[in-house]
Each structure stands twice: as structure tokens, then as C-alpha cells.
Amino acid sequence: MTILSAFRKVLPNEDIIFFGDTKNMPYGEKSKEQLIEYSNKAFQFFENRGVKAVVMACNTTSATVYEDLKDKYNFKLYPLIQSVSKIISELNADTIGVFATPATINSHAYKANINKYNPKMSVIEISCPMWVKFVEDNLVNTEIAKVSVREKMQEISAYKPEKIVLGCTHYPYLTEEISKYISRENIINPAEYYAYFIKNDLSNLQLLSNKTEKGSDSFYVSSSPDKFIRAASMFYNVEKCMLIEQ
């Protein structure tokens, strides 16, 4: 939803079909084989609906399964990490911190992709396995969440990063707490970079919508649509969500 919110500001006229795999969340501690299975089901759902492009609005799947699946479908595929890393590599910083799920951290996808463009940038990767649960279970303002953020900030502060990338789309929900330890301007939510990258690429491919009216939103999840609507409300207004079997 954090990606969708940024995407809508940049591309207001596109029709969007959103699928949230709420049945199998969180992805951050799943095996690669599981992630490939889940992603294939999601991509087949999109292919059956004839979409022109799919936004992989998940750092974990971008890090672990993009290379395996990128040529299997008939739509343009945009992986999050690979799409934003060049922009991050050009930021005015010698050291960048990355908070992400265990799967993303273990893949070293941010470090590999950023250093591909800027080998001199130091990329410090810190796993935050509980943070998705804090968001999913509405525990962001609890003491356990605040303690976890403080401990992770203390851990990464030892490396003196000038900026910190929120390398999971759930983590922007924790921005208020993280900003107690580092200024907001140095907290990077990749969503905005991602949205502009996609817009420019769709334009170059002549795939941008030529509609002048606002695009439509359709929401689907694999479980608990009511819970999804409540959780999404912090970043987006979801009025209706449909359940599909996955």
C-alpha cells in the first residue's frame, strides 16, 4: 500500500489491479521455493486479466525470485530493488543503511545492486524480522515495537550511515518511531523513486494510459479482506476488497 500510494500520485490515470497475498504473509521468512510458488500464482492472476505491466511492490520477492520469473510472462515486470538502486547509488552519502526482512538481507540484493552503480558506497544491511508483524498486527505504537526500533537504530548507528533505506514496504508505517533517532529527510522510502522510474519506463515504451480521467482501483486479497481494508487505511482509501483463492 505504501507503493500504491506513491504510484497513484505519479500515475493518476492508470487502471490498477492490486493483489495482496494476505494468506501467505509475511514473505520475509519464507523459502525461495515458497516465494516462487506464491509469485507464480499472483503473476498468473495478473496474466489472466491481461495487464500490461506488473509492479513487484515487495522487496523480498524482488530480491529472491525476480531473476527466476522475469521472462515467463507476457507483461512488463518491475522489481522494486533493481528499479530504485541506481537512484539510491547517486545520493549524497558515503554510507547507506538498509533495514529489511531476513530474506532480503540474506540475498544482499540492495548491496549488490547499489554497488553495481557505485562501488564506493558502503551499504550496511540490518535484518528486522519482527517489524512486519508489528505493522500487520497493529502493534506499531506498542512498547515492544518501540524497543525493537531503538535496538535496531543502535545497531546500525555504529556504522554511522548518513541515510537509511526502508527496505520493506511495511516499514514506512514505523517512520514516526525511526525519526526519533535520525531526521526524516534521511529516511528513504523507495516508493517515490520507484513510481517515477516506472512512469518514465512506461512512457519510453509508449505504454502510458492516454485517459484523462482518474484510473480505477480494484483490490483482491487471498484472505481476510476486512482486516486488509483496516490495515491499508493509513496509506490509502480502500472501499471494497474481493477475496480470491490462491
Half-sphere exposure of 208 (CA within 13 A, CB side): 17
**Active site (catalytic) residues:** 58, 168
* CATH no. of 82-188: 3.40.50.1860
Q: What pLDDT is recorded for position 166?
A: 97
DSSP state of 108: T
Q: Which CATH class is domain 2-81+193-243?
A: alpha beta
Q: What pLDDT is recorded for position 50?
A: 97
Burial class (CB in 10 A: 0-12, 13-18, 19+), 181: middle
Q: Where exactly are the structural domains of the chain?
A: 2-81+193-243, 82-188
Tell me if domain 2-81+193-243 and domain 82-188 are identical in fold.
yes
Whether the CB-CB separation of 39 and 222 falls below 8 Å is answered with no
As a whole number, the mean pLDDT across the chain is 95
- Provide the pLDDT confidence category of residue 28 given band limits of 50, 70 and 90: confident
Q: What is the pLDDT of residues 109-159, one digit of tens each?
A: 999 999 999 999 999 999 999 999 998 888 999 999 999 999 999 999 999
Q: Is the pLDDT of residue 234 over 80?
A: no
Mean pLDDT of 186-210: 96
Whether the CB-CB separation of 197 and 83 falls below 8 Å is answered with yes
User: SS3 helix, strand, coil % of the chain, rounded to 5?
Assistant: 45, 15, 40
Q: Residue written as cell 530504485?
A: 84
